[in-house]
């Protein structure tokens, strides 16, 4: 098979999130998050221990170093930094992240930190959460604590990860905090976008010498299952504009909400309250855009498909099975031509889940299906870059099997197996394969 080469300086990383790996839910002054409360309330798998990265982070940094990982994307836990969400700073939380960042720097691993990855302090949720306009001020206070303490120690700052999760948690009920109120959810999303813009302005005021800032929005592009069927085409367009990435990318990069999105919200009586200047605040110049890409979704108007969270984040079920690798080309084209992105793009998440990954007698998982998936994605990514796509790096989801939100521990995305009884980490075949990709800055492509 043909070898696909990547540009010199291409950044190879892995990604995690605080609620998914840290554990230590009640240790060293950490407050409760909405995921702590949500999972306990409904009897789900909980993030109480997760991968215990709060205690085992030195092992994880050494593991990344041994694999040649060049960048690590993690997130700060808001309730570990500010246990009540505002006011009191938890010095034990500050010390934890300082130690992690120092170790990453010593290992020569770039730090990419997400400010918010879905785990709002429960105390703030009790005061209205994202739906309260005060959220913008709460978030800015939190971001300021992070900028004051970590600033240039972080190479890449991400304001929010996948804002769609806030919609899923507030309109559909599948994610924390488990609400089903679409009008409230639309207000939450608007406040999130305003908070993003204000945080970018705050970041610029510091004048950091090397740090950059961006946002991560996942793109699950919807296609009509039957391209010649007008109902399928309309449904796919509605999903992209009113339930998916268009809700965020249009105000972030083009200004305002799209006409279709506006009409949808007004007709349903769920249009959010917007203050003068909000859209100007939202549309701040960014240093990079983080793209989370996994697969495509095919919609069929006469085929009702129930929403699901079975794959740790795939809430919208496609009527087609399998992986649509070529959708990556379309997504990158949409970013460039529809949303006019001219800033560098980083694939901040990409990977595939496994549910039946049984170790052999030596404790090794032979995850050939994951390697095949990654080969197909990375081969196409290399081709897209060669054709002009401005993609500068790739973060594989995930370093470890971890707590996959509503899917709990049944869904394994890691290139390293986590034994949830002993918490031992064991590289899978995919980890060794990825180490060779990084070493060679190239991948042997799939067909």
Q: Which residues are known to be catalytic?
A: 162, 349
Cβ atoms 313, 405 nearer than 8 A: yes
Q: Is there a contact between 10 and 441 (Cβ–Cβ < 8 Å)?
A: yes
Residue 222: φ, ψ to 5° = -90, 130
For β-strands 11-15 and 71-75, DSSP reports them as: parallel
Number of C-beta neighbours around residue 118 at 10 A: 26
**176, 118 contact by CB (below 8 A):** yes
Selection from 159, 150, 161, 252 nearest residue 208 by Cα:
150
* Residue 372, burial from CB neighbour count under 10 angstroms (0-12, 13-18, 19+): middle
Of 207, 214, 386, the C-alpha closest to 286 is 214
The SS3 call for residue 117 is coil
- How many residues are given for the chain? 447
> How far is residue 37's CA from residue 39's CA, in Å, rounded to a whole number?
6
Token pair of 151, please?
A: 């600033």
Backbone phi, psi, residue 77, to 5°: -90, 110
Helices 230-238 and 259-268: crossing angle, nearest 10°? 90
Distance from chain centroid for Cα 344 = 17
Q: Phi and psi for 196 in degrees, rounded to 5?
A: -55, -50
């Amino acid at each position: 098979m043909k070898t696909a080469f990547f540009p010199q300086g291409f950044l190879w990383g892995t990604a995690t999130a605080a609620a998914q790996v840290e554990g230590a839910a009640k240790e060293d002054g950490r407050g409760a998050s909405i995921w702590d409360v949500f999972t306990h309330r409904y009897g789900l798998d909980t993030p109480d221990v997760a991968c215990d990265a709060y205690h085992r982070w030195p092992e994880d940094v050494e593991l990344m170093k041994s694999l040649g990982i060049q960048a690590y994307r993690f997130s700060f836990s808001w309730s570990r930094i500010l246990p009540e969400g505002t006011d009191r700073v938890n010095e034990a939380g500050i010390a934890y992240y300082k130690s992690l960042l120092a170790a990453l720097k010593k290992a020569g691993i770039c730090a990419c930190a997400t400010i918010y990855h879905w785990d709002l302090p429960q105390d703030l949720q009790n005061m209205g959460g994202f739906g309260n306009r005060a959220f913008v001020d709460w978030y800015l206070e939190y971001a300021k604590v992070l900028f004051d303490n970590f600033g240039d120690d972080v190479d890449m700052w991400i304001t929010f990860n996948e804002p769609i999760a806030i919609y899923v948690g507030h309109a559909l009920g599948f994610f924390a905090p488990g609400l089903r109120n679409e009008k409230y959810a639309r207000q939450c999303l608007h406040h999130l976008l305003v908070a993003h813009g204000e945080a970018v302005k705050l970041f610029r005021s510091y004048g950091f010498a090397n740090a950059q800032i961006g946002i991560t929005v996942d793109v699950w592009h919807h296609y009509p299952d039957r391209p010649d069927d007008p109902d399928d085409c309309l449904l796919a367009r509605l999903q992209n504009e009113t339930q998916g990435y268009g809700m965020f990318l249009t105000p972030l990069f083009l200004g305002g909400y799209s006409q279709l999105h506006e009409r949808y919200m007004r007709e349903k009586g769920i249009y959010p309250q917007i203050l003068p200047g909000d859209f100007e605040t939202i549309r701040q110049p960014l240093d990079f855009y983080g793209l989370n890409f996994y697969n495509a979704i095919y919609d069929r108007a006469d085929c009702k498909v129930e929403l699901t969270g079975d794959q740790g984040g795939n809430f919208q079920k496609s009527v087609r099975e399998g992986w649509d690798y070529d959708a990556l080309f379309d997504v990158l084209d949409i970013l460039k031509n529809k949303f006019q992105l001219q800033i560098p793009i980083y694939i901040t998440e990409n990977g595939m889940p496994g549910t039946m990954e049984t170790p052999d007698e030596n404790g090794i998982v032979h995850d050939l299906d994951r390697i095949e998936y990654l080969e197909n994605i990375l081969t196409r990514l290399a081709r897209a870059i060669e054709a002009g796509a401005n993609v500068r790096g790739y973060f594989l989801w995930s370093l470890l099997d971890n707590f996959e939100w509503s899917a709990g521990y049944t869904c394994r995305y890691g290139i390293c197996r986590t034994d949830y009884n002993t918490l031992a980490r064991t590289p899978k075949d995919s980890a060794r394969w990825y180490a060779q990709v990084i070493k060679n800055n190239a991948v042997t492509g799939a067909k």
